[in-house]
Amino acid sequence: MIRFEPNNFHFNEPFEELEKIEKLIIHHTSRVNFSALDTHHFHQKERGWSGIGYNYFIEKDGSIIEGRGLHVGAHTYGYNRKTLGICATGDFDIEHPTGAQIQSLIDICHYFMEQYQLQPKDVVGHRELDGFDYTTCPGKLFDMNEFRTMLENIQVGVSKA
Ligand SMILES: [Zn+2]
């Protein structure tokens, strides 16, 4: 079963309510060995945001840390009110996600797809959105089509069960 680890991060501003959830957007940190807490501090101190911008964060060992949770995030400008941003730590331009990270990404996407009636096509990489072709996020080594195929295969497995 999916397990969300609560954070004890301090956010500088109150959370805002999401309008709806129509997509799940996958990100990488684009930094090696950069934890959820590192990201929280980076977004807060360097970017000047309330706190970690991602809704959920996946560590190398696959643990899923709650960031903003089901509140408006700060991860994909123009999309934050209608999407969830899920970030896995790593620089997937130069390293592959761990098996545990892939498993957790599948688990969390599958969970939210069921909750919000989303399809594999609604799970997108940051770079695939209009206006973001300048970024490789979630990394050149992260194949979004392959990932969506994995999600499709899970759906097929579930409907047959
Ligand atoms: Zn991104």
Block means of pLDDT (10 residues each) for the chain, 161 residues, are: 93 97 98 97 97 98 98 98 98 98 97 97 98 97 98 74 48
Residue 35: what pLDDT?
98
Task: Please give the model's pTM, rounded to 2 decimal places.
Answer: 0.95
Rounded to the nearest angstrom, the distance between the alpha carbon of 137 and the centre of ligand 1 is 5
Rounded to the nearest angstrom, the distance between the alpha carbon of 54 and the centre of ligand 1 is 9
Cα-based distances in Å from 130 to 79, 135, 139, 149: 10, 11, 17, 22
Asked if 58 and 108 count as a contact pair (C-beta separation under 8 A), the reply is yes
Rounded to the nearest angstrom, the distance between the alpha carbon of 132 and the centre of ligand 1 is 9
Q: Cα angle vertex 64, ends 93, 130, to 5°? A: 45
